[in-house]
Amino acid sequence: MRALVQRVSQARVDVDERVIGEIGYGFLILVCAVDGDSEADAELLAQKIAKLRILRDDQGKMNRSILDAGGEALVVSQFTLAADLSRGNRPGFSHAAAPDVGRELYESFCRLLAEEGVAVETGEFGAEMAVSLVNDGPVTIWMDSMDWAKRP
């Protein structure tokens, strides 16, 4: 699974001009399942993000996790993180997981992140969403479970 984690002072997601998820200090997490991903990838990503030390400590250094800081996470599904630009300028998305698998892994990731102790708000899978945020820093981290997962 892929994730783009942004440290934010606030973030929200609207669907049809209605706020469906909103947080203060913490992470906006854009997440995408790709072909070959499994529940193990969702679990690994949730564990890594819960422990990711990119929030400021008392000295202003990136030294605290979202759990240490009592921050929140807004998790938004974003299949476009699977974009393939190897054949021109129009992205292809054939590497994204099928929608039913993507939904299942997105929901698993959200549940697993909450089980790690993180307060989680969500977007709406498959919906046209308007996401707004105030990027703090700015700090933006790209993560891919393939970087840590042991695959056959």
Hey, which residues are catalytic here?
78-80
Single-letter amino acid code for the residue at 80 = T
Q: Which two tokens stand for residue 70?
A: 């009592």
DSSP 92: B
For residue 82, give Cα distances in angstroms to 3, 97, 136: 10, 9, 25
